[in-house]
Amino acid sequence: MKEKEIQDDLASIRSLMERSSKFISLSGLSGILAGIYALIGAAAAFCLIREPLNYDQVTFLHLLKVLPYLIAIAAVVLIASIATCVLLTYQKAKRKGQSIWGKTSRELLFNMAAPLLTGGLLIIIFLYRGYFGIVAPASLIFYGLALLAAGNFTFSDVKFLGICQIILGLIAACLPGYGLLFWALGFGVLHIVYGSVMYLKYDR
């Protein structure tokens, strides 16, 4: 009995140490909403292009014409997703009496920033050079790398999402004509699935 109590105490200590070194206030609901925003954005982008999903069938001049609107849609989706994530994560942290800003959250953001900023600058270069078909695969791959890095400081489920994003990005790179479809799958469907799993496991 005494040995069992010692093991239980050690397990509790390990759990406490892990919780103190991990950012556990991420909201699953924010992932679901981010996925919905992405699907709405993808639908809006498809309506703007007004062509089949295959970029090879879309003229270069037509893409240049709608490019500012596509960038605006992506910016709105990004801002809405970040704002939702911050708001819901703050509410979850407050409900559980946890701090949203501390050493662990700073390390999480720092480790995500490097691949995200690198990927963002590379995508801007691709757009400037007219390599539109590579934008979606690059965004998926670099976002996946950012999630892999962030997974060391939060739930391990984030790493799994990152791996899925990278795999999807590599497949999209092999089929560059269907970038919008893969973008919708990665940022839309995968986020909804991930957010649902997170909500059922940690938020209820």
Residue-wise pLDDT tens digits, 15-72: 444 444 444 556 778 888 989 999 999 898 888 776 544 444 455 555 667 778 888 8
Side-chain-side CA neighbours of residue 64 (13 Å): 6
Residue 156 has pLDDT above 80, yes or no: no
Which pLDDT value is given to residue 114? Answer: 87
Which pLDDT value is given to residue 37? Answer: 93
The structure tokens 């609107």 sit at 69
Which pLDDT value is given to residue 26? Answer: 67
Structure tokens at 9: 């105490």
Which pLDDT value is given to residue 19? Answer: 45
Residue 181 has pLDDT above 70, yes or no: yes
Other beta carbons within 10 Å of 155: 19
Residue 130 has pLDDT above 90, yes or no: no
Which band of pLDDT confidence, cut at 50, 70 and 90, is reported for residue 165?
Answer: very high
- Phi first, then psi, for residue 67 (nearest 5°) are -55, -45
Which pLDDT value is given to residue 64? Answer: 67
**DSSP of the chain, one letter per residue?**
-HHHHHHHHHHHHHHHHHHHTS-----HHHHHHHHHHHHHHHHHHHHHH-S-S-GGGS-HHHHHHHHHHHHHHHHHHHHHHHHHHHHHHHHHHHHTT--SSSHHHHHHHHHHHHHHHHHHHHHHHHHHHT-GGGHHHHHHHHHHHHHHHHTTSS-THHHHHHHHHHHHHHHHHHSGGGHHHHHIIIIIIHHHHHHHHHIIIII-
Which pLDDT value is given to residue 13? Answer: 41
Which pLDDT value is given to residue 152? Answer: 77
pLDDT digits (tens, 9 = 90+) for 71-104: 888 889 989 988 888 788 777 777 766 666 667 6
Structure tokens at 133: 């078909």
Which pLDDT value is given to residue 204? Answer: 63
Which pLDDT value is given to residue 97? Answer: 66
Better-predicted residue by pLDDT, 117 or 86: 117
Three-state SS sequence of 54-75 = CHHHCCHHHHHHHHHHHHHHHH
Average pLDDT, the chain: 77
Which band of pLDDT confidence, cut at 50, 70 and 90, is reported for residue 141?
Answer: very high
pTM (whole model) above 0.85: no
